[in-house]
């Protein structure tokens, strides 16, 4: 009877620990969200700046839905809070998983987690400061004069969030390559030999993820090609080290 109770008690302890970590993560997210709520209008104004700066003088956004002007800033504030809380949420996840990992796995997991978060943030910053101004300048410059641009607040928010997710996720390419190498599925030499196919795939992916304009496609494809090369060098650096530790 005691032998059966031991696994059950261990499972209950893990579930209690998981619940505690989830509660701490949600509480942290809630605190950040409450702190950002008074600034929701300023945050949306900041997000809209790349487009507003390209519109004719006196022209601004509209809300086709009567509640759109109210819910769009709130929706954005939640995603900003989630964006800021990612390190805290990952820390809670790591605190739950780490006790079950070996020392070597911890040494590999920590740099991968940190680098993945930093690359995602860098991808979003690249999209906001470089891609969005260039895309909106291109779209507003080459539009016919008879067409007036009156963007909807919710549609603009969905568009920008999709761009952020596309660039943030795409900038994770080196981390994905390193993980595949550590798992032994692909070697750095295979990544190097398949560079041509990878470049074609990157341009196809950029065409799918970005708006139908050449500017945003190139601004996603070119950094991804550079990140692909970075992933090859990172995988080469880790493979001999990993083999030495295994030996």
pLDDT at 244: 45
pLDDT at 8: 60
Q: Is the pLDDT of residue 170 over 70?
A: yes
Task: Convert the pLDDT of each residue in 68-115 to its tens digit.
Answer: 788 899 999 999 999 999 999 999 998 888 887 788 878 888 888 999
Q: Which residue has the higher pLDDT, 6 or 230?
A: 230
Residues 6+ apart with CB under 8 A from 44: 72, 73, 76, 153, 157
Number of C-beta neighbours around residue 235 at 10 A: 24
pLDDT at 1: 44
Q: Which residue has the higher pLDDT, 3 or 121?
A: 121
Task: Convert the pLDDT of each residue in 174-217 to its tens digit.
Answer: 999 999 998 889 999 999 999 999 999 999 999 998 877 788 89
Task: Convert the pLDDT of each residue in 47-65 to its tens digit.
Answer: 999 988 888 776 778 888 7
Q: Is the pLDDT of residue 142 over 80?
A: no
Residue ranges of alpha helices (H) inside 37-182 are: 40-52, 68-97, 103-126, 132-141, 153-170, 173-182
Percent of the chain's residues with pLDDT above 90: 56
Q: Which helix (H) or strand (E) holds 1?
A: none
Residues for the chain: how many in total? 247
> Rounded to two decimals, what is the model's pTM?
0.86
Q: Is the pLDDT of residue 31 over 60?
A: yes
The backbone region for 65, taken as left when phi is positive above 0, alpha when psi lies in -120 to 50, beta otherwise, is beta
Query: In whole numbers, what is the pLDDT of the chain averaged over residues?
Result: 87
pLDDT at 150: 81
Q: Which helix (H) or strand (E) holds 41?
A: helix 40-52
């Amino acid at each position: 009877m005691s032998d059966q109770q031991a696994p059950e008690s261990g499972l209950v302890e893990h579930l209690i620990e998981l619940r505690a970590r989830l509660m701490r993560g949600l509480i942290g997210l809630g605190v950040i969200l409450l702190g950002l709520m008074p600034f929701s209008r300023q945050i949306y104004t900041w997000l809209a700046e790349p487009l507003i700066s390209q519109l004719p003088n006196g022209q601004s956004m509209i809300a086709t839905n009567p509640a759109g002007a109210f819910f769009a800033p709130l929706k954005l504030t939640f995603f900003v809070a989630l964006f800021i809380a990612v390190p805290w949420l990952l820390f809670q996840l790591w605190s739950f998983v780490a006790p079950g990992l070996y020392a070597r796995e911890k040494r590999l997991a920590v740099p991968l987690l940190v680098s993945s978060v930093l690359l995602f943030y860098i991808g979003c910053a690249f999209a906001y400061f470089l891609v969005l101004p260039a895309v909106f300048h291109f779209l507003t410059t080459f539009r016919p004069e008879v067409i007036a641009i009156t963007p909807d607040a919710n549609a603009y928010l969905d568009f920008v969030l999709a761009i952020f997710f596309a660039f943030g996720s795409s900038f994770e390419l080196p981390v994905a390559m390193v993980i595949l190498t550590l798992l032994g599925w692909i070697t750095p030499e295979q990544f190097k030999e398949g560079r041509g196919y990878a470049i074609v795939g990157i341009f196809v992916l950029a065409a799918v993820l970005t708006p139908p304009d050449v500017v945003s496609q190139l601004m996603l494809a070119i950094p991804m090609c550079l990140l692909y090369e970075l992933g090859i060098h990172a995988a080469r650096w880790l493979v001999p080290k990993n083999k030495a530790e295994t030996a």
